[in-house]
């Protein structure tokens, strides 16, 4: 079995344009959780059930029902970030690109945990779509620090220095792989 270092070296060799540190299968975002210990456990259970119903409704295309479930969850526990994040996603599916719910989720989460990571990625995407690349890059970098591989890749794409370094590294690796090509003008 290869060590983490070995996998990182192989990743750089076989994927020279990917951001450093990206090792397939190590998406830490999957391990993130939100700290619900500050809330009454029965209310958390009730809110999580409403959110699951909302996600199911959204996945089946019933966005008004999804919004209703997320609104109920917010009414029960207005200080819990997750429902704001889910409501923002549903609103985005309806064409609403306002970021208030995402900002509320980030604020309530203290910028840590699963909800913060997801909200930062969503807000980063919306900022990127509106041409606000520098603000988007900042959000992606924060989400990447929380473990989002997707956000790390987006941050690199939006970082001109990283893109230049990756391109130069790719050229060096290509020359090492094909030494006969490096003699050509």
The pLDDT, as a whole number, for residue 26 is: 45
Question: pLDDT: is 29 or 70 the higher one?
Answer: 70
pLDDT of residue 40: 94
Section 177-182 average pLDDT: 76
Using DSSP, state whether 112 is helix, strand or coil.
Answer: coil
pLDDT digits (tens, 9 = 90+) for 112-155: 999 999 999 999 999 999 999 999 999 999 999 999 999 998 99
Q: What is the mean pLDDT of the chain?
A: 85
Q: Are 116 and 105 in contact (CB under 8 A)?
A: yes
Binned at pLDDT 50, 70 and 90, residue 66 comes out as: very high
User: pLDDT higher for 43 or 10?
Assistant: 43
Q: How confident is the model at residue 24 (pLDDT cuts 50, 70, 90)?
A: very low
Angle at 70 between CA 68 and CA 76, to 5 degrees: 105
Q: What is the pTM of this model?
A: 0.73
pLDDT average, residue stretch 1-23: 53
Q: How confident is the model at residue 18 (pLDDT cuts 50, 70, 90)?
A: low
Q: How far apart are CA 177 and CA 124, in angstroms?
A: 36
CA dihedral 17, 20, 21, 24 (to 10 degrees): 0
Average pLDDT over residues 95-100: 92
The larger pLDDT score, comparing residue 27 to residue 72, is at 72
Q: Which residues contact 31 (CB under 8 A, 6 or more apart)?
A: 147
CA distances (Å), origin 25, targets 2, 19, 28, 124, 167: 13, 15, 9, 23, 24
Encode pLDDT of 69-84 as tens digits. 999 999 999 999 999 9
Q: Which residue segments constitute the domains of the chain, with CATH numbers given? A: 4-164 (1.25.40.10)
């Amino acid at each position: 079995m290869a060590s983490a270092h070995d996998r990182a070296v192989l990743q750089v060799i076989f994927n020279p344009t990917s951001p450093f540190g990206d090792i397939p299968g190590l998406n830490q975002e999957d391990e993130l959780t939100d700290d619900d210990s500050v809330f009454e456990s029965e209310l958390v259970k009730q809110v999580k059930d409403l959110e699951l119903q909302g996600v199911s409704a959204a996945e089946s295309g019933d966005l008004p029902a999804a919004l209703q479930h997320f609104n109920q969850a917010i009414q029960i526990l207005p200080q819990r970030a997750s429902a704001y994040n889910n409501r923002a996603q549903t609103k985005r599916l309806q064409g609403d690109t306002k970021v208030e719910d995402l900002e509320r989720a980030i604020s309530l989460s203290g910028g840590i945990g699963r909800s913060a990571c997801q909200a930062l990625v969503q807000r980063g995407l919306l900022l990127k779509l509106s041409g606000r690349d520098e603000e988007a890059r900042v959000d992606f970098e924060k989400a990447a620090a929380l473990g989002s591989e997707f956000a790390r890749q987006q941050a690199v794409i939006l970082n001109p220095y990283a893109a230049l370094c990756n391109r130069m590294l790719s050229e060096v690796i290509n020359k090492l792989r094909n030494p006969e090509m490096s003699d050509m003008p």
